[in-house]
């Protein structure tokens, strides 16, 4: 029952289609019909401007943090000493949130790529790894101006950061980092194709566009 609740709430939290609701409520448009047609923060920045973009980014990251912390609300008081079981609940809630972001029940199952939500999950589970991944993302993004390249690079590095730098050697965490990193890269398969063809769009999050 507990596992079901964590998975259900994780999915519902992830299913909040922030960019879709912001686009329709504040701009009168469906973000999925413009730009890259992706319901994520990056496309929101491009199409709706930086104010809406930053709002969507913060909310989507927060969804991942909340999903990763769900077991604290449901199980912390009676699972003291059950570290592995607690971690399993965290990972189940986290993956459910990413799945909900990509296939949101509140937006016709057409969502984003789950990158911001994945970052929130890493923050909730291992904030130190999240800091290193974010630094790698920013370094690649600022130097190349490709958001997708920054996300892909950070996803590739995530398992190595967790194991070799943060020294997180629990078997389930090793599997988690590899699977999550793979999911992020898979979600960017079209971006990878455009990068290889030199057709990927560059972006500046700090432009003056409102």
* Residue range 4-42, pLDDT digits in tens: 999 999 999 999 999 999 999 999 999 999 988 889 998
Residue 121 lies in a domain: yes
- The domain total for the chain is 1
pLDDT of residue 52: 94
Residue 205 lies in a domain: no
Residue 208 lies in a domain: no
Residue 203 lies in a domain: no
DSSP string, 50-85: HHHHHHHHHHHHHHHHHHHTHHHHHTGGG-TT-HHH
pLDDT of residue 87: 82
Q: Does 166 or 70 have the greater pLDDT score?
A: 70
Neighbouring residues of 141: CB distance < 8 A, sequence distance ≥ 6: 147, 149, 150
pLDDT of residue 123: 93
| CA 54 remoteness from chain centre | 14
Residue 202 lies in a domain: no
- Tens of pLDDT, residues 127-137: 888 999 999 99
- Tens of pLDDT, residues 173-210: 888 889 888 988 988 888 999 999 998 888 876 555 55
Residue 206 lies in a domain: no
- Tens of pLDDT, residues 74-93: 765 555 456 677 888 888 99
pLDDT of residue 162: 86
pLDDT of residue 76: 57
H helices present in the chain, as ranges: 2-14, 18-26, 41-48, 50-68, 70-74, 83-102, 115-125, 127-144, 147-160, 171-187, 189-197
Residue 184 lies in a domain: yes
Q: What is d(CA 18, CA 142) in angstroms, rounded to the nearest whole number? A: 25
pLDDT > 70 fraction of the chain, expressed in percent and rounded = 91
Residue 11 lies in a domain: yes
Domain coverage including residue 26 = 2-197
């Amino acid at each position: 029952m507990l596992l079901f609740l964590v998975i259900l709430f994780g999915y519902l939290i992830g299913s909040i289609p922030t960019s879709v609701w912001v686009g329709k409520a504040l701009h009168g448009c469906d973000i999925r019909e413009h730009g890259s047609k992706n319901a994520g923060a990056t496309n929101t920045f491009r199409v709706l401007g930086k104010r809406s973009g930053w709002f969507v980014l913060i909310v989507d990251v927060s969804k991942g943090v909340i999903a990763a912390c769900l077991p604290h609300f449901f199980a912390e008081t009676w699972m003291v000493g059950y570290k592995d079981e607690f971690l399993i609940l965290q990972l189940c809630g986290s993956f459910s949130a990413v799945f909900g972001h990509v296939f949101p029940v509140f937006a016709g199952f057409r969502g984003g790529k789950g990158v911001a939500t994945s970052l929130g999950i890493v923050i909730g589970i291992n904030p130190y790894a999240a800091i290193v991944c974010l630094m790698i993302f920013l370094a690649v993004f600022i130097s190349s101006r490709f958001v997708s390249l920054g996300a892909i690079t950070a996803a590739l590095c995530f398992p190595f950061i967790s194991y070799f730098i943060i020294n997180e050697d629990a078997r389930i965490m090793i599997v988690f980092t590899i699977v999550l990193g793979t999911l992020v890269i898979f979600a960017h398969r079209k971006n990878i194709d455009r990068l290889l063809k030199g057709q990927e769009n560059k972006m500046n999050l700090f432009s003056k566009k409102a």
